[in-house]
Amino acid sequence: MSTDQEVPESQVNTVNETIDDSHTELVEHEFTVEELQQALADAEQKAQENWDKAVRAQAEMENLKRRTQKDLEDAHKFALTNFAKEMLSVLDSLVLGLQAATGDSEDVKKFRVGSELTIKQFESAFAKFKIETIDPIGQIFNAEQHQAMAMQFVEGAEPNTVVNVFQKGYLLNGRLLRPAMVLVAKAAEKQPTDSPSIDEQA
């Protein structure tokens, strides 16, 4: 005796009708052109927003990288700033001592020779560490590198030029370490003209 049982035809028809109805509903639910265009526009807008965020994030990372690199370079370049300023004070003392050493005695001559050699050694050491001297005699006054101690008229000097340097300035890797203290020429003062006489008689 067979154990297989046949499914009633009525049940088979019911299942087929259910499948047909579901398929018909899916087929009948078609998207309009406007809906598809709107969905595409929304997707493009979202993609653009995400692209903009990615570009900004990349730019911020590049900027951070550049700033960090510059900070490291500056730290290496200008690590000697405070030390160099202290050494300038020592050099100033040597220069002043040399200027004050007058006379023709052998001791004075030896002192001058020794001081000059020491100053040259200082200058040589400064050059190795990119410390440049600012000695602007005869140059146009530059407020970024010079400090005007006084202004006065000097015969034959162009106005606004440096006619005397009281103390040299210095740069460290192109950055101002100390301004040069200078005397600046000014234009001659104009003499007041005689006021015209007034005839008081009517």
CA–chain centroid gap for 113, Å, is 43
Distance separating alpha carbons of residues 119 and 91, to the nearest angstrom: 7
Whether residue 124 is contained in a domain is answered as no
Lowest mean pLDDT among 15-19, 50-54, 60-64, 87-91: 15-19
Percent of the chain with pLDDT over 70: 79
Q: By residue range, what is the domain housing residue 148? A: 131-189
H helices of the chain, where? Answer: 9-28, 33-77, 81-100, 106-128
Percent of the chain with pLDDT over 90: 46
**pLDDT tens, position by position, 122-171:** 999 999 999 999 999 999 999 999 999 999 999 889 999 999 999 999 99
Whether residue 103 is contained in a domain is answered as no
Whether residue 60 is contained in a domain is answered as no
pLDDT band at 73 (very low <50, low <70, confident <90, very high): confident
Whether residue 74 is contained in a domain is answered as no
CA dihedral 137, 140, 143, 147 (to 10 degrees): 30
Domain count, the chain: 1
Predicted confidence at residue 102, as pLDDT, reads 86
CATH number where 170 lies: 2.30.22.10
CA distance from start to end of the chain: 159
Whether residue 161 is contained in a domain is answered as yes
Whether residue 136 is contained in a domain is answered as yes
Kindly report the pTM of this predicted structure. 0.59
Whether residue 152 is contained in a domain is answered as yes
Whether residue 179 is contained in a domain is answered as yes
